[in-house]
Amino acid sequence: MNNARSILSLALSSLIALSACRKDQESPGGIKDDSLPHRYANGMVSSATPEATQAGMEVLRGGGNAVDAAVAVGFALAVSLPQAGNLGGGGFMVIRMADGRSTTFDFRERAPGKATRDMYLDSAGNVIPDLSLTGALAAGVPGSPAGLLAALDKYGTKPRRQVIGPAIRLAAEGFRVQPGLAANIAEKLHDFSRFPSTLAIFAPDTIPLKAGTTFRQPALARTLQRISDSGAAGFYSGTTADMIVRQMERSGGIITHQDLLDYKPSERRPVVGTYRGDSIISMPPPSSGGPLLIQMLNMMEGYDFHTIPFHSAAHAHVMAEIMRRAYADRAHHLGDPDFFSVPVAGLVSKEYAKSRAATITDSATPSARISSGDMSAYMHESPQTTHYSVVDKDGNCVSVTVTLNASFGSKLVVDGAGFFLNDEMDDFAAKPGAPNLYGLLGDTANAIVPGKRMLSSMTPTIIIRDGRPWLVVGTPGGSTIITTVLQVIQNQADYGMTLREAGDAPRIHQQWYPDTVYYEKGAFTTATLDTLKSLGYKTVERDAPSGRVDAIRIIDVDGKRWMEGYSDSRGYGSAEGY
Ligand code: GLY
């Protein structure tokens, strides 16, 4: 492979000279941030809203551990970030306790018992537009309440009322609507107008909530109170369950009381790997995030990025080819491990990554020439989402990504219960080869089966350096989640950026199909784009930001451990510590 690398560098060296930006070499990412990062020793939370960050801080200051605080943030996001924070959706939590134990909670939604493989196809076998995205039929059985409470029961230290209390207060007393939330509601007014239960809360008299107004959600406060009083039973049975099932009956959905009673989160072993000596702890299937992140990092180990300038044509080329190969594997090999034998050990093996990277040449490989890799040797083994990161004073770390799928999920609020239902059914492969909301492809591994979890890209991750936590990281962003996490890691590990520089730097993305390299504004110079074109790449500037990272980095300064937080400048979240 080293030979392949040197051929690649020789072939590209003249192009690099033309396109590499001198400024990039002096200041990776071209980001200037002269302000010193705020550092804290006792605990830190980074999330997508200041209200949720405060909820986590309240629990940490009250003596709760990182899991207690993470559960508090999860419930508070269900109130303050209705686009993605949720009760009616699902998510993943990765935990690394200070004593070295690590684990994950999978509370991904499941297909209802009445779901069928072809439920989103018409009689001619074509995908019916929007059916898996908007309205009751788009919803999988929610997992967030059960998952957060399972993590609290096993790894938390505080009672339910203490960790759900801040969310109940927030819903009952209200919070000030951020311009970002007001804009998102206004954008979706057309979809919301199909559902009176949604309009009543987010656009009373069809006037969308305005920035700066106080937003109170009494129905949601009552639902949260039922969960606080009765645990998971306060959601999956009794009043809340009755409301969900009534909404299904009124709106053509299929989730039943039995589906709700049957929902159980799974505690799963994390998927682990290494990158240049750091240990990567991430989310296993039904997330594709952890396996693909580790596979891509393994392929990257074959390159010396010190000799490849940041966001030069050579850098973009190597990264795009690595991403292309990993996403081809995603389409074929990944699905819910309870229903499909996912070859995780193969996908994350260094040997497999070497064979995969060996097919990278010195120009773009058309996606049509890349198929999923041969896993036969390994077959025996068994934009809207939100991410937050928490670290406590003892060094317990929690990395959580939760989602409703699209912004505000199915757009359908459960009448009387005050929360949105997800549209996660769209994350299944409705039909082999038919792209989902994110343009992702899939086949049998991710086909719809009752009770099965749809494949996800969510990549909550914790990185250990020299035996101690170094980085807690994750992001929303649909299919771009995995490549965003990858670049935030690479920017720090290979390009020496600070956490803020690593997060703020423009990002690139390739996902096999479409056969296109997407980039954020400012990622490349015109000369670099010309070079990429000459190498065979189609490039497209994204019109929306790629991801919204909330991360915490733990560093040694003068022999003392400090936490530095980062809440993406693309969003309106906050990182706080004490
Ligand atoms: N709904 C986005 C994901 O889970 O990947």
Instruction: Express each pLDDT in 9-34 by its tens digit.
Output: 534 443 333 333 322 322 333 333 44
Q: Answer whether 90's CB lies under 8 Å from 109's CB.
A: yes
470 φ, ψ (degrees, to nearest 5): -120, -40
**What interhelical angle do 160-173 and 66-80 show, nearest 10?**
20
Which of these, 435, 278, 281, lies nearest to 367 by C-alpha position? 435
Cis amide prior to 460 (ω within 30 degrees)? no
Secondary structure letter of residue 70 according to DSSP = H
- Res 378: pLDDT: 52
- Res 73: pLDDT: 98
The CA-based dihedral angle spanning residues 246, 249, 254, 260, taken in that order and rounded to the nearest 10 degrees: 10
Q: Which ligand 1 atom sits closest to the C-alpha of 289?
A: 5
**Alpha carbon of 190 to ligand 1 centroid (Å):** 23
Distance CA 82, CA 404 (A): 9
Q: Whose CA is nearest to atom 3 of ligand 1?
A: 456
- Res 275: pLDDT: 98
Which one of 134, 385, 403, 498 is the catalytic residue? Answer: 385
Task: Please give the C-alpha separations between residue 316 and each of 227, 308, 523, 536, in angstroms, as whole numbers.
Answer: 47, 10, 10, 12
Q: Answer whether 566's CB lies under 8 Å from 543's CB.
A: no
Q: Answer whether 421's CB lies under 8 Å from 88's CB.
A: yes
Tens digits of residue pLDDT in 313-351: 999 999 999 999 999 999 999 999 999 999 999 999 999
**Alpha carbon of 389 to ligand 1 centroid (Å):** 18
Which of these, 484, 489, 552, lies nearest to 523 by C-alpha position? 484
Mutate to test the pocket of ligand 1, among 110, 387, 405, 459 (most ligand atoms within 8 A of CB): 405
**Alpha carbon of 456 to ligand 1 centroid (Å):** 4
**Alpha carbon of 293 to ligand 1 centroid (Å):** 15
Distance CA 459, CA 480 (A): 10
Task: Please give the C-alpha separations between residue 471 and each of 125, 347, 493, 554, in angstroms, as whole numbers.
Answer: 46, 23, 11, 6
SS3 (DSSP) at 266: strand
- Res 373: pLDDT: 76
Q: Whose CA is nearest to atom 4 of ligand 1?
A: 456
Secondary structure letter of residue 337 according to DSSP = T
pTM of the model: 0.93
- Res 23: pLDDT: 29
| Residue ranges, the chain, pLDDT below 70 | 1-37, 375-383
Q: Answer whether 561's CB lies under 8 Å from 513's CB.
A: no
> Count of CB atoms within 10 A of residue 564's CB?
22
Mutate to test the pocket of ligand 1, among 287, 458, 482, 484 (most ligand atoms within 8 A of CB): 458
Mutate to test the pocket of ligand 1, among 288, 424, 425 (most ligand atoms within 8 A of CB): 424
Mutate to test the pocket of ligand 1, among 108, 283, 336, 456 (most ligand atoms within 8 A of CB): 456
**Alpha carbon of 175 to ligand 1 centroid (Å):** 27
- Res 201: pLDDT: 98
Q: Answer whether 489's CB lies under 8 Å from 463's CB.
A: yes
What are 545's two structure tokens?
């930001």
Active site residue 385: yes
**Alpha carbon of 287 to ligand 1 centroid (Å):** 8
**Cα angle, residue 436 at apex, residues 432 and 442 outer, rounded to 5°:** 35
- Res 371: pLDDT: 82
Q: Answer whether 527's CB lies under 8 Å from 330's CB.
A: no
- Res 435: pLDDT: 85
**Alpha carbon of 386 to ligand 1 centroid (Å):** 10
Which of these, 212, 84, 215, lies nearest to 548 by C-alpha position? 84
Torsional class of 560: left (φ above 0), alpha (ψ -120 to 50), beta (otherwise): beta
Supply the DSSP string of 223-243, one letter for each residue.
HHHHHHHHTTHHHHSHHHHHH
The CA-based dihedral angle spanning residues 83, 86, 87, 92, taken in that order and rounded to the nearest 10 degrees: 140
Q: Which ligand 1 atom sits closest to the C-alpha of 426?
A: 1
Q: Kind and range of the H or E element at 560?
A: strand 560-567
Q: Which ligand 1 atom sits closest to the C-alpha of 438?
A: 2
Instruction: Fill in the amino acid letter for 536.
Output: G
Q: Whose CA is nearest to atom 1 of ligand 1?
A: 405
Q: Which ligand 1 atom sits closest to the C-alpha of 405?
A: 1
- Residues with a CB atom less than 6 Å from ligand 1: 385, 403, 405, 424, 427, 456-458, 478
